[in-house]
Each structure stands twice: as structure tokens, then as C-alpha cells.
Amino acid sequence: MKEILLTGGLGYIGSHTAVETLNAGYKVIIADDLSNSKIEVLDKIKQITNKDVKFYQIDVCNKEELEKVFAENKIFGVIHFAGFKAVGESVKEPLKYYQNNVGSTLTLLETMKKYDCKNIVFSSSACVYSPVNQMPVKEDGNLEASNPYGRTKLFIEHILKDFQNANPDFDVTVLRYFNPIGAHESGLLGEDPNGIPNNLMPYICKVAVGELDHLNVFGNDYNTKDGTGVRDYIHVVDLAIGHVKALDKIVKADDCGFRIFNIGTGIGYSVLDVVETFNKSNGITIKYQITERRPGDIDSYFSSAKKAEEELGFKATRNLEEMCKSSYKYYSAKKR
Ligand code: NAD
Ligand code: UD1
């Protein structure tokens, strides 16, 4: 059984990926400092899969702590989720973002090299694409990040490329996620942001359970079918399966390289599409008001999902209704 280290594996995407990776027959080790997650998630992962998971509460930037993980296990590959992800906070505290996101990656790569672990899958983001690209955007689209968070992802991609160039026996897979939403069907895992959410689905869920009064729809004068912003929402369980496909590819491949894949559905939905689908699939009505545009937003982005389908055999199968239902199920369960 191959051992896979998930840095940040108790977070939203990491926890769902832990479940799918275990179900696919890999052994999972999680390293997380709990800076944005809760230890209870570990038990939920074990409960869903009925499998054991080794856990290290460590900061991945800390070389000594990370070395212990590699010294005590025979790690075949790493999925590197650990990092901070709040765009607004990254504008106010850029150094915190560069230190954690870039810093953890540098420490991880050095340690992997020292312990002869040669496979890494990295969590990048669609926000590395410049808004000038035509949609659907392909992996060779123009790159330009518009905030410090996005720049950490872009810089890390460059670092990984340089590293793989200098170490051709390393295998590097970069996954550019579009907009992950939804939750595990059990209702045990999901996204749990503190305070007032920045992102659409957690905000809608908080309105649905009565924690917030109404949704503010940021602008209805974009160049889209109903004037509201269009995004490529992907079910987090599909996204998790995308990671397993990337691991399977690494296991099977004879050669090493540097590969980049969009992980999306290829379909764009507007804010009002999401609200309408959420209402229909959950039998409730979300109150909303149209407000000003949010600075930095663009009208529309969605992926070309072809490369991942052709080269990884990955295709998202869960639709927007399932995304809305599972998100609400998780929030309602939390509320009780
Ligand atoms: P999350 O905050 O839920 O998970 C990140 C996890 O990493 C948390 O459990 C946190 O405690 C941990 N962590 C942070 N810094 C750490 C460190 N130095 N050492 C150890 N653990 C650390 O975020 P998520 O939504 O699951 O995102 C996972 C990754 O995917 C991140 O790198 C994020 O930037 C990227 N990503 C997320 C989205 C999204 O919409 N959620 C989109 C694109 C890319
Ligand atoms: C945001 C991040 C992006 C990150 C992505 C992860 C910003 C500017 N960008 O992108 O870097 O990779 O999350 O999923 O934060 N909306 C509302 N009302 C709300 C919240 C959102 O109308 O309360 C609209 C937005 O204007 C947008 C759509 O919903 O059109 C999706 O927004 P969001 O969930 O924040 O994702 P992104 O803006 O795509």
C-alpha cells in the first residue's frame, strides 16, 4: 500500500481528499497545524472510511517537525494543501501569506529531496489566470494573479517548475481548482468558515440556516446572461477524486515530469443560477439583494476540462443540484 502525505489534510478539500484517497486503497498520513481546521475532522474521516489515518499536528514550515514525519514513514507522494487562502486577508497581510504558502512549499521540497520522496501534487487555483483569457480557459492561458494570495500560487508553480527542471527524477502535478463547493454526502465533512463568509456558497448556507438575513449579490451589470458573475463550481468530492486520478497517473507513469491540469466542470453558472438551484433542491427561498460589484471580481470564468479528462481520465459527475443539497445538509446538521 503506497503511503501518501496530505499536508493540510484536515481542511475542507484535504479532508474530502483523504476519504477518497483511503477509499482508493492508499495509506494516508495527515500533517496539519489546525490553524484553519478542527481535530474532530480526523475522527469523521475515520468514521466515513472505517480506516486508520496517522496524524501529525505540525507546522509544515517547521523543518524539524516535518523531517520527523518523513523519517517515521515511507512516503511515496505528497498532496500539498497546507496554506492560507483568504484573498482579502492576503492583501492586508501579504508577508503572512508568502511566509506560509511559499515557505511551507520550500521546506516541503527540501525535505522530500532529503528523504527521496519524489512525487508531489500541488493545490493551485484558477486565480492564476489573467482576466484577459477567453473562456473556457485552457492550461496554457495567460497567467497573472491580481492579489498576494494568487501570487503565492503563481510563484509556487514557478518554483515547482524550476525544481522539477533541476531534479528531472521528480514528478510534479499542479492542479488548478476552479470553485469547489458542496460537502460529503454523509453530512460529516464540509466547509466551515469562521465569521461572515467571503465566498458564495457558505454565505448562502448561512442565510439558509438563519445566521445571516440575506445574500448580497455583487452586481447584476456584468456581461453575462443575467448580469451576475459566472463561475465554474465543482463538487468537492469530484475535486477530491481528481487528486486520486492524479496519484494513479503518477503510480502508472514510466516517466517523470511537470504537469498542469484544470480541475473544473467546464460549465459556468451565474450567481442567480446558484440561488435558484439552491432554492429548488432544498425547498427554501434565499432572500437576496443586488448590491455594488465586489472590487477585483471579473464577469465570467470557467475551465476547459478537456486535458484532465484526456490525460487523467477525470471528469466531474456531480451536478449543481447535488452541490447545493450537500452544502445545505452539512450546514443544517451543524446547526442542530
Ligand atoms: P482550508 O483552510 O480548509 O485547508 C487548509 C489546511 O491547511 C487547514 O486545515 C489548515 O489548518 C492547514 N494549514 C495551513 N497552513 C499550514 C501549515 N503551515 N502547516 C500545516 N498545516 C497548515 O483550505 P481548503 O479550501 O481546503 O484549501 C486547500 C488548498 O487548496 C489551499 O492551498 C488553497 O489555497 C487551495 N485552493 C482552495 C480553493 C477553495 O476555493 N477552497 C480554491 C483553489 C485553491
Ligand atoms: C474567490 C476568490 C478566488 C478563489 C476562489 C475560490 C476573491 C476575489 N476571489 O473567487 O481567489 O480562488 O474564491 O473558490 O475572493 N458573490 C456574491 N455574493 C457573495 C459572495 C460572492 O454575489 O456574498 C458572487 C461573486 O461576485 C462571484 C461569485 O459569487 O461572482 C462567486 O464568488 P466566490 O465564491 O467568492 O468565488 P470567486 O469570486 O470566484
Percent residues over pLDDT 90 in the chain: 96
- 12 CB less than 6 Å from ligand 1? yes
Pocket residue to mutate for ligand 1, from 5, 6, 7, 12, most atoms within 8 A of Cβ: 12
Between vectors from CA 11 to CA 281 and to CA 295, what angle results, nearest 5°? 70
Q: How far apart are CA 73 and CA 75, in angstroms?
A: 6
The answer to whether 247 and 122 are in contact (CB under 8 A) is: no
The confidence score (pLDDT) of residue 36 equals: 96
Whole-number Å distance, alpha carbon 200 to ligand 2 midpoint, is 6
- Every domain of the chain with CATH number 3.40.50.720 lies at 3-181+233-263
Identify which of 189, 190, 172 has the alpha carbon closest to the alpha carbon of residue 181. Answer: 190
Task: Output the residue whose Cα is nearest ligand 1's atom 35.
Answer: 123
Pocket residue to mutate for ligand 2, from 232, 297, 302, 323, most atoms within 8 A of Cβ: 297
Between vectors from CA 101 to CA 153 and to CA 117, what angle results, nearest 5°? 95
- pLDDT tens digits along 153-195: 999 999 999 999 999 999 999 999 999 999 999 999 999 888 8
Whole-number Å distance, alpha carbon 222 to ligand 1 midpoint, is 30
Closest ligand 2 atom number to CA of residue 126: 12
* Nearest ligand to the CA atom of 107: 1
- pLDDT tens digits along 100-123: 999 999 999 999 999 999 999 999
- 83 CB less than 6 Å from ligand 1? yes
Closest ligand 1 atom number to CA of residue 82: 7
Whole-number Å distance, alpha carbon 37 to ligand 1 midpoint, is 9
- Every domain of the chain with CATH number 3.90.25.10 lies at 200-231+266-335
Task: Output the residue whose Cα is nearest ligand 1's atom 43.
Answer: 125
- In this structure, whether the domain defined by 3-181+233-263 belongs to CATH 3.40.50.720 is answered with yes
Pocket residue to mutate for ligand 2, from 97, 175, 234, 294, most atoms within 8 A of Cβ: 294
- 180 CB less than 6 Å from ligand 1? yes
The confidence score (pLDDT) of residue 199 equals: 95
What's the pLDDT band for 254 if we cut at 50, 70, 90? confident
State mean pLDDT over 84-112: 97
Contacts of 81 (CB under 8 A, 6+ apart): 6, 7, 8, 9, 11, 13, 14, 17, 123
User: pTM to 2 decimals?
Assistant: 0.98
State mean pLDDT over 201-216: 97
- pLDDT tens digits along 27-75: 999 999 999 999 999 999 999 999 999 999 999 999 999 999 999 999 9
- 15 CB less than 6 Å from ligand 1? no
What's the pLDDT band for 335 if we cut at 50, 70, 90? low
Query: Is residue 220 exposed (0-12), middle (13-18) or buried (19+ Cβ within 10 Å)?
Result: middle
Whole-number Å distance, alpha carbon 86 to ligand 2 midpoint, is 11
- pLDDT tens digits along 264-311: 999 999 999 999 999 999 999 999 999 999 988 999 999 999 999 999
Look up 56 and say whether it is catalytic: no
- The CATH T-level fold of domain 200-231+266-335 is UDP-galactose 4-epimerase; domain 1 (3.90.25)
Assess whether pLDDT exceeds 70 at residue 86. yes
Task: Output the residue whose Cα is nearest ligand 2's atom 3.
Answer: 127
Lay out the sheet containing 300-301: strands in order across: 269-270, 230-231, 300-301
Whole-number Å distance, alpha carbon 194 to ligand 1 midpoint, is 14
Among candidate residues 26, 129, 149, 331, the one labeled active-site is: 149
